[in-house]
Amino acid sequence: MNSKRIIVGFSGASGAIYGLRALEMLRAAGVETHVVASRSAELTLRDELDIGIRDLEPLCDQLHAIGNVGATIASGSFPADGMMITPCSVRTLSEIVTGVTSTLLTRAADVTLKERRPLLLMVRETPLHLGHLRSMMAAAEMGAIIAPPVPAFYAKPDTLDEMVSFTVGRALDQFGIKAPIQRWAGLGKSTPPE
């Protein structure tokens, strides 16, 4: 079993499958997970995946209520190896950048940054205007990892599922968690999933 502990946040941006796949891959890797999802994320989960927030419980070690600012993940004394917000809306990004943390989702992200732990933001928005770009730049300057869900076609995915898994696997690389994905082996070569 892996001794890592990762906080997984869901915002209301489109792309709930990325968060769900992250939980599946983290569970397969033996990583302890703590989940927090915004109220908008519940709408997105229902609309895109036909599931509710409670359906995430079997995939995580602890599901935290969005309004519970007294939860363990709201404190820097709670040892975690980092946090990923996938998908990450521009609203969530903006709250993190300004430090105006109105929910447990953004409070946990703020704590992750102040403790100098990896915070990966899978920002799901396009096209981007200057305000979005400035917010992403500010988050990066604060130490966040900006990792939009961009597919890699060199992996020659056959399905949408493979594209999602690759993107999430690359995100997990940022925490030192190796997922079984197709990796770059040079032009004209491919490596099978680990």
Q: Identity (one letter) of the amino acid at 175?
A: F
Give the model confidence (pLDDT) of 119-166 as tens digits. 999 999 999 999 999 999 999 999 999 999 998 888 889 999 999 999
Predicted pLDDT of residue 13: 97
Pick left, alpha or beta for residue 136 (phi over 0 → left; psi -120 to 50 → alpha; otherwise beta). Answer: alpha
Predicted pLDDT of residue 17: 98
pLDDT, mean of residues 104-114: 98
Query: What are the backbone dihedrals phi and psi of residue 97, each rounded to the nearest 5 degrees, phi first?
Result: -65, -40
Predicted pLDDT of residue 194: 66
The Cα–Cα gap between 121 and 90 comes to: 10
- Residue 22 · residue 84 · CB < 8 Å: yes
Asked if pLDDT for residue 43 goes beyond 90, the answer is: yes
The Cα–Cα gap between 9 and 105 comes to: 6
Which comes out higher in pLDDT, residue 190 or 71?
71
Predicted pLDDT of residue 79: 95
Q: Please report, for the domain that includes residue 143, its CATH number.
A: 3.40.50.1950
Tell if the pTM clears 0.85, that is, is over it: yes
154-160 own/partner pairs: CB under 8 Å, 24+ apart: 154/184, 155/181, 155/182, 155/183, 155/184, 155/190, 156/182, 156/190, 157/182
- Residue 170 · residue 178 · CB < 8 Å: no
Nearest to 94 by CA among 65, 123, 120: 123
Q: What length does the chain have?
A: 194
Predicted pLDDT of residue 1: 44
Question: What is the extent of the structural domain holding 84?
Answer: 5-191
The number of folded domains in the chain is 1
